[in-house]
Amino acid sequence: TDTAMVDGDTLDVPAGRWLIEFSTETGIYTFTEIEIFGSVGIIGDATPGGWDVDTDMIRSETDSSQWSLRLELLDGEAKFRADDDWLVANWGAGDFPTGVAVRDGANIPITAGEYIVDFNSLSGEYNFKLLIVYDSVGLIGTATPFGNWDEDYWMTQDPNDEDQWFIPSVALSGGDQNECKFRAEGDWIVNW
């Protein structure tokens, strides 16, 4: 980070690929070199490979610094690592489920679960989004064909999107006394 002056000298920078930020208000600018890695993975005792084998992430088709992966994690710790080599680059931070990892930073504390993990190797920003996938979702209530709060009218899960559920056709009863809710797993623990 430095400050440019109005009508000041030219800036000398080495050749390479850069992320450039500049404020016309303050004159503050930064040049951040963009490193292109062959792979970025997640590693640690919370991951399937432990501290010995990286679980490679998938690079975005539109941003060479953006990586993501869906995986099951255990209670433990993890870091992001480039090219399966500690000497190339590794990132960590003490925050979970989101944070900004820094080079050679602390291990990330992980809580067990299935996650979609996003990581940006340029900014260090990461996010562990916990996935909750239900085995069943139903419609329940006096407006349903069963007409009660004891029996679920089961929905069908979309084969292409595990979060989408549907009923192709159902006759519902209307009126002031006819109501319904969605609930997961035939239980009231999770309901909408």
Answer yes or no: is pLDDT of 176 > 90. Answer: no
| Predicted pLDDT at 22 | 93
End-to-end CA distance of the chain: 49
Mean pLDDT of the region 182-189: 97
Task: Express each pLDDT in 138-147 by its tens digit.
Answer: 999 999 999 9
| Predicted pLDDT at 17 | 79
At residue 116, the 3 state secondary structure works out as strand
Task: Express each pLDDT in 15-28 by its tens digit.
Answer: 877 888 899 999 99
- Please state, in angstroms and rounded to a whole number, the distance separating the CA atoms of residues 135 and 146: 21
Return the minimum-mean-pLDDT range out of 3-7, 62-66, 81-85, 123-127: 3-7
Task: Express each pLDDT in 87-128 by its tens digit.
Answer: 999 999 999 999 999 999 999 999 999 999 999 999 999 999
Q: 189: Cβ–Cβ under 8 A, 6 or more apart, which residues?
A: none
β-pair partners for 137: 184
Higher-scoring residue by pLDDT: 174, 156: 156
| Predicted pLDDT at 119 | 98
Answer yes or no: is pLDDT of 183 > 80. Answer: yes
Model pTM score = 0.72
Q: For residue 5, give the H/E element and its range.
A: none
Mean pLDDT of the region 45-51: 98
DSSP 8-state assignment for residue 93: -
DSSP 8-state assignment for residue 181: E
